[in-house]
């Protein structure tokens, strides 16, 4: 439960951005739903873009903590953890009602200029996730940890898109099977 007006604004904006999009959600909508005055918004955020950046940073930080904890709990070895990321992602995100794609991908599409601060926050989130996969790949003994991390990140993103567009079906099991093949090839172990 939000305890400060800043948190109320962040919670409200997070919900509305997910439902309606980042650019199409107006400040007036956010203020009305949050029950705060315009001055309160600008006391905490210098612009709507700054509010979007804060929402994305908070979402990314919260998700990474939950994701890493869940992956660590789901498997005991780095190799098993590289495979578990798909089951974890499905449980934490993809299977949730209303999932309509990764918010970081969606916001990057809305703010397509790679130099825009909002786009840079979205890109940072993807780099941090790939960095976690790279660390796991290195621990697993991959000959090219960065290459494996990028391949798994691409597979993870693609699986998320298929979940959002076509529904779950066999997406997670097929992505997991593909990940097993990639990991086995990268660490020289049987799939």
Domains detected in the chain: 1-45 (1.10.10.60), 55-187 (1.10.357.10)
Burial class from Cβ neighbours inside 10 Å (0-12, 13-18, 19+) for residue 114 reads exposed
pLDDT by 10s per residue, the chain, length 191: 557 999 999 999 999 999 899 999 999 999 999 999 999 999 999 999 999 999 999 999 999 999 999 999 999 999 999 999 999 998 888 888 778 889 999 999 999 999 999 999 999 999 999 999 999 999 999 999 999 999 999 999 999 999 888 877 788 899 999 999 999 999 986 65
């Amino acid at each position: 439960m939000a305890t400060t007006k800043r948190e109320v604004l962040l919670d409200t904006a997070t919900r509305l951005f997910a439902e309606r999009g980042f650019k199409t959600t107006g400040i007036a909508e956010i203020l009305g739903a949050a029950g705060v005055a315009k001055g309160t918004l600008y006391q905490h955020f210098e612009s709507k873009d700054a509010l979007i950046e804060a929402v994305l940073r908070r979402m990314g930080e919260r998700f990474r903590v939950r994701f890493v904890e869940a992956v660590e709990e789901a498997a005991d070895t780095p190799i098993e953890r590289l495979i578990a990321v798909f089951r974890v992602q499905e449980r934490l995100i993809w299977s949730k009602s209303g999932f309509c794609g990764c918010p970081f991908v969606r916001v990057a599409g809305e703010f397509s200029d790679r130099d825009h601060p909002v786009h840079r926050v979205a890109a940072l989130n993807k780099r941090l996730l790939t960095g976690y996969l790279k660390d796991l790949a290195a621990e697993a003994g991959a000959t090219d940890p960065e290459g494996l991390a990028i391949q798994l990140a691409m597979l993870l993103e693609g699986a998320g898109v298929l979940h959002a567009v076509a529904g779950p079906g066999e997406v997670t099991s097929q992505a997991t099977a593909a990940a097993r093949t990639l990991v086995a090839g990268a660490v020289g172990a049987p799939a």
